[in-house]
Amino acid sequence: MSKMIPDSLPIPAGLRGVASDWAADKQAFPVPWGKAMMWIFLLSDTFVFTCFLTAYMNVRISTTVPWPNPSEVFALRIGGADIPLILIAIMTFILISSSGTMAMAVNFGYRRDRAKTAALLLTTAAFGLTFVGMQAFEWTKLIVEEGVRPWGNPLGAAQFGSSFFMITGFHGAHVSAGVIYLSVVALRVWRGDYERKGTYETVEIAGLYWHFVDLVWVFIFALFYLW
Protein backbone atom coordinates (compact mmCIF):
# COMPACT_ATOMS: atom_id res chain seq x y z
CA MET A 1 0.00 0.00 0.00
CA SER A 2 1.16 3.49 -0.64
CA LYS A 3 2.18 5.62 2.31
CA MET A 4 -0.39 7.75 4.08
CA ILE A 5 2.21 10.23 5.24
CA PRO A 6 5.31 11.03 3.16
CA ASP A 7 8.59 10.15 4.91
CA SER A 8 9.80 13.72 4.63
CA LEU A 9 7.23 15.01 7.13
CA PRO A 10 8.40 15.25 10.75
CA ILE A 11 5.71 13.06 12.28
CA PRO A 12 6.24 10.72 15.24
CA ALA A 13 6.37 7.01 14.51
CA GLY A 14 3.30 6.27 16.62
CA LEU A 15 1.16 8.57 14.58
CA ARG A 16 2.53 7.04 11.40
CA GLY A 17 1.52 3.69 12.74
CA VAL A 18 -2.04 4.87 13.29
CA ALA A 19 -2.17 6.32 9.81
CA SER A 20 -0.89 3.16 8.18
CA ASP A 21 -3.37 1.04 10.14
CA TRP A 22 -6.12 3.16 8.70
CA ALA A 23 -4.72 2.91 5.22
CA ALA A 24 -4.39 -0.87 5.43
CA ASP A 25 -6.69 -3.14 3.51
CA LYS A 26 -8.60 -6.04 5.07
CA GLN A 27 -8.36 -4.86 8.64
CA ALA A 28 -7.57 -1.69 10.50
CA PHE A 29 -6.29 -3.38 13.64
CA PRO A 30 -4.32 -6.63 13.80
CA VAL A 31 -6.71 -8.28 16.23
CA PRO A 32 -9.42 -10.93 15.93
CA TRP A 33 -12.96 -9.83 15.17
CA GLY A 34 -14.28 -10.77 18.57
CA LYS A 35 -11.66 -8.73 20.32
CA ALA A 36 -12.25 -5.68 18.16
CA MET A 37 -15.95 -6.00 18.78
CA MET A 38 -15.48 -6.31 22.53
CA TRP A 39 -13.40 -3.13 22.59
CA ILE A 40 -16.09 -1.25 20.70
CA PHE A 41 -18.77 -2.63 22.98
CA LEU A 42 -16.82 -1.56 26.04
CA LEU A 43 -16.49 1.93 24.61
CA SER A 44 -20.26 2.04 24.30
CA ASP A 45 -20.71 0.63 27.79
CA THR A 46 -18.32 3.27 29.12
CA PHE A 47 -20.76 5.85 27.89
CA VAL A 48 -23.57 4.08 29.75
CA PHE A 49 -21.72 4.20 33.04
CA THR A 50 -20.51 7.74 32.42
CA CYS A 51 -24.10 8.83 31.92
CA PHE A 52 -25.16 7.06 35.11
CA LEU A 53 -22.39 8.61 37.15
CA THR A 54 -22.80 12.08 35.68
CA ALA A 55 -26.51 11.92 36.29
CA TYR A 56 -25.88 10.81 39.87
CA MET A 57 -23.45 13.67 40.48
CA ASN A 58 -25.90 16.13 39.02
CA VAL A 59 -28.70 14.84 41.22
CA ARG A 60 -26.45 14.89 44.24
CA ILE A 61 -25.47 18.54 43.90
CA SER A 62 -28.95 19.75 43.01
CA THR A 63 -30.99 17.94 45.62
CA THR A 64 -32.80 20.09 48.20
CA VAL A 65 -32.15 17.88 51.25
CA PRO A 66 -28.61 17.16 52.57
CA TRP A 67 -26.88 14.03 51.30
CA PRO A 68 -26.19 11.35 53.94
CA ASN A 69 -22.53 10.89 54.84
CA PRO A 70 -21.44 7.71 53.05
CA SER A 71 -18.65 6.81 55.44
CA GLU A 72 -21.19 6.69 58.28
CA VAL A 73 -23.87 4.89 56.31
CA PHE A 74 -21.47 2.29 55.02
CA ALA A 75 -19.76 1.62 58.35
CA LEU A 76 -19.80 -1.79 59.94
CA ARG A 77 -19.89 -2.31 63.71
CA ILE A 78 -17.09 -4.73 64.45
CA GLY A 79 -16.06 -5.43 68.05
CA GLY A 80 -17.91 -2.41 69.37
CA ALA A 81 -16.30 0.14 67.04
CA ASP A 82 -17.74 1.60 63.87
CA ILE A 83 -15.28 1.06 61.07
CA PRO A 84 -16.15 3.27 58.11
CA LEU A 85 -16.32 1.73 54.63
CA ILE A 86 -14.77 -1.52 55.79
CA LEU A 87 -17.10 -3.74 53.78
CA ILE A 88 -16.61 -1.70 50.63
CA ALA A 89 -12.88 -1.79 51.13
CA ILE A 90 -12.95 -5.57 51.28
CA MET A 91 -15.24 -5.79 48.27
CA THR A 92 -12.95 -3.54 46.29
CA PHE A 93 -9.95 -5.59 47.31
CA ILE A 94 -11.66 -8.79 46.19
CA LEU A 95 -12.66 -7.37 42.85
CA ILE A 96 -9.20 -6.05 42.16
CA SER A 97 -7.65 -9.38 43.13
CA SER A 98 -9.99 -11.02 40.66
CA SER A 99 -8.46 -8.89 37.93
CA GLY A 100 -5.13 -10.37 38.91
CA THR A 101 -6.32 -13.96 38.60
CA MET A 102 -7.99 -13.05 35.32
CA ALA A 103 -4.73 -11.72 33.92
CA MET A 104 -3.01 -14.94 34.99
CA ALA A 105 -5.73 -16.98 33.27
CA VAL A 106 -5.07 -15.14 30.01
CA ASN A 107 -1.38 -15.76 30.40
CA PHE A 108 -1.80 -19.49 30.98
CA GLY A 109 -4.26 -19.61 28.12
CA TYR A 110 -1.62 -18.41 25.70
CA ARG A 111 0.75 -21.00 27.15
CA ARG A 112 -1.86 -23.62 26.35
CA ASP A 113 -2.11 -24.75 29.95
CA ARG A 114 -5.67 -25.98 29.96
CA ALA A 115 -5.99 -26.97 33.58
CA LYS A 116 -4.50 -23.83 35.06
CA THR A 117 -6.45 -21.57 32.72
CA ALA A 118 -9.73 -23.18 33.65
CA ALA A 119 -8.88 -23.13 37.36
CA LEU A 120 -7.92 -19.47 37.29
CA LEU A 121 -11.05 -18.56 35.37
CA LEU A 122 -13.14 -20.32 37.97
CA THR A 123 -11.25 -18.54 40.75
CA THR A 124 -12.00 -15.25 39.08
CA ALA A 125 -15.65 -16.16 38.80
CA ALA A 126 -15.66 -17.18 42.45
CA PHE A 127 -14.21 -13.82 43.46
CA GLY A 128 -16.91 -12.17 41.40
CA LEU A 129 -19.56 -14.24 43.08
CA THR A 130 -18.19 -13.27 46.49
CA PHE A 131 -18.38 -9.65 45.47
CA VAL A 132 -22.01 -10.00 44.44
CA GLY A 133 -22.76 -11.85 47.66
CA MET A 134 -21.25 -9.08 49.76
CA GLN A 135 -23.19 -6.56 47.74
CA ALA A 136 -26.37 -8.47 48.53
CA PHE A 137 -25.41 -8.32 52.21
CA GLU A 138 -24.86 -4.58 51.95
CA TRP A 139 -28.21 -4.05 50.23
CA THR A 140 -29.98 -6.11 52.87
CA LYS A 141 -28.37 -4.16 55.67
CA LEU A 142 -29.34 -0.84 54.10
CA ILE A 143 -32.89 -1.94 53.42
CA VAL A 144 -33.61 -3.83 56.62
CA GLU A 145 -31.56 -2.00 59.23
CA GLU A 146 -31.28 1.54 57.93
CA GLY A 147 -34.65 1.67 56.23
CA VAL A 148 -33.23 2.95 52.93
CA ARG A 149 -35.60 2.59 49.98
CA PRO A 150 -35.21 3.66 46.36
CA TRP A 151 -37.88 6.31 46.91
CA GLY A 152 -36.75 7.60 50.28
CA ASN A 153 -34.75 7.05 53.44
CA PRO A 154 -34.55 8.38 56.98
CA LEU A 155 -30.96 9.58 56.55
CA GLY A 156 -31.45 12.48 54.14
CA ALA A 157 -31.96 13.03 50.43
CA ALA A 158 -34.22 10.46 48.80
CA GLN A 159 -31.93 10.41 45.77
CA PHE A 160 -29.27 8.76 47.91
CA GLY A 161 -31.11 5.48 47.91
CA SER A 162 -32.29 5.86 44.32
CA SER A 163 -28.81 6.44 42.94
CA PHE A 164 -27.23 3.83 45.18
CA PHE A 165 -29.55 1.00 44.21
CA MET A 166 -29.58 1.98 40.56
CA ILE A 167 -25.85 2.31 40.06
CA THR A 168 -24.64 -0.54 42.22
CA GLY A 169 -27.48 -2.65 40.86
CA PHE A 170 -26.47 -1.97 37.29
CA HIS A 171 -22.85 -2.69 38.09
CA GLY A 172 -23.78 -5.79 40.06
CA ALA A 173 -25.71 -7.02 37.05
CA HIS A 174 -22.56 -6.59 34.98
CA VAL A 175 -20.55 -8.59 37.52
CA SER A 176 -23.17 -11.34 37.63
CA ALA A 177 -23.25 -11.51 33.83
CA GLY A 178 -19.46 -11.68 33.94
CA VAL A 179 -19.55 -14.58 36.39
CA ILE A 180 -21.76 -16.56 34.02
CA TYR A 181 -19.65 -15.57 31.04
CA LEU A 182 -16.41 -16.63 32.76
CA SER A 183 -17.90 -19.92 33.90
CA VAL A 184 -18.96 -20.76 30.35
CA VAL A 185 -15.51 -19.90 29.04
CA ALA A 186 -13.91 -21.97 31.81
CA LEU A 187 -16.06 -24.94 30.84
CA ARG A 188 -15.01 -24.61 27.22
CA VAL A 189 -11.37 -24.33 28.17
CA TRP A 190 -11.70 -27.46 30.24
CA ARG A 191 -13.41 -29.36 27.42
CA GLY A 192 -10.56 -28.38 25.15
CA ASP A 193 -12.63 -26.37 22.67
CA TYR A 194 -9.94 -23.74 22.25
CA GLU A 195 -7.24 -26.36 21.97
CA ARG A 196 -9.06 -27.66 18.92
CA LYS A 197 -9.71 -24.18 17.59
CA GLY A 198 -6.05 -23.40 17.98
CA THR A 199 -6.44 -20.14 19.85
CA TYR A 200 -7.33 -19.02 23.35
CA GLU A 201 -8.38 -15.53 22.23
CA THR A 202 -11.82 -16.01 23.79
CA VAL A 203 -10.21 -16.08 27.23
CA GLU A 204 -8.58 -12.77 26.53
CA ILE A 205 -11.82 -11.28 25.25
CA ALA A 206 -13.62 -12.36 28.42
CA GLY A 207 -10.72 -10.81 30.32
CA LEU A 208 -11.25 -7.48 28.61
CA TYR A 209 -14.82 -7.46 29.83
CA TRP A 210 -13.85 -8.44 33.34
CA HIS A 211 -11.16 -5.79 33.68
CA PHE A 212 -13.62 -3.23 32.42
CA VAL A 213 -16.17 -4.17 35.07
CA ASP A 214 -13.44 -3.79 37.70
CA LEU A 215 -12.35 -0.45 36.40
CA VAL A 216 -15.88 0.85 36.47
CA TRP A 217 -16.14 -0.23 40.09
CA VAL A 218 -13.13 1.92 40.95
CA PHE A 219 -14.98 4.94 39.61
CA ILE A 220 -18.16 4.04 41.45
CA PHE A 221 -16.15 3.54 44.61
CA ALA A 222 -14.44 6.90 44.28
CA LEU A 223 -17.47 8.90 43.26
CA PHE A 224 -20.10 7.30 45.43
CA TYR A 225 -18.38 6.16 48.59
CA LEU A 226 -15.38 8.44 48.93
CA TRP A 227 -17.05 11.71 47.92
Q: Which residues bind another protein (CB under 8 A)?
A: 1-6, 22-34, 36-37, 40-41, 43-45, 47-48, 50-52, 55, 58-59, 62-65, 150-151, 157-159, 161-163, 166, 170, 199
How far apart (Å, rounded) are the C-alpha atoms in residues 174 and 153? 26
**Cβ proximity to another protein, 13 vs 151, nearer residue:** 151
What is residue 6's DSSP assignment?
A: -
Instruction: State which residue, 37 or 78, has the beta carbon closest to another protein.
Output: 37
Angstrom distance (rounded) from CA 103 to CA 165: 30
Angle at Cα 217 formed by Cα 213 and Cα 222, nearest 5°? 155
Rg (CA), the chain: 22
Q: Taking the complex as a whole, how short is the minimal distance between the CB of residue 94 and another protein, in angstroms? A: 27
Shortest distance in whole angstroms from residue 41 CB to another protein: 6
Our CB check for another protein shows the closer of 29 and 137 to be 29
Q: Is 195 helix (H, G, I), strand (E, B) or coil?
A: helix
Comparing CB distances to another protein, the nearer of 31 and 86 is 31
State in angstroms the smallest separation of the CB of 220 from another protein: 14
Residue 36: exposure state from Cβ atoms within 10 A (0-12, 13-18, ≥19): middle
- Phi and psi angles of residue 83, each rounded to the nearest 5 degrees, phi first: -105, 115
**Distance in Å, CB of 96 to another protein, minimum:** 25
Closer CB to another protein, 89 or 139, in the complex = 139
State the nearest-atom distance from the C-beta of 63 to another protein, in Å: 5
CA gap 62, 64 in Å, rounded: 6
Cβ–Cβ < 8 Å for 121, 189 = yes
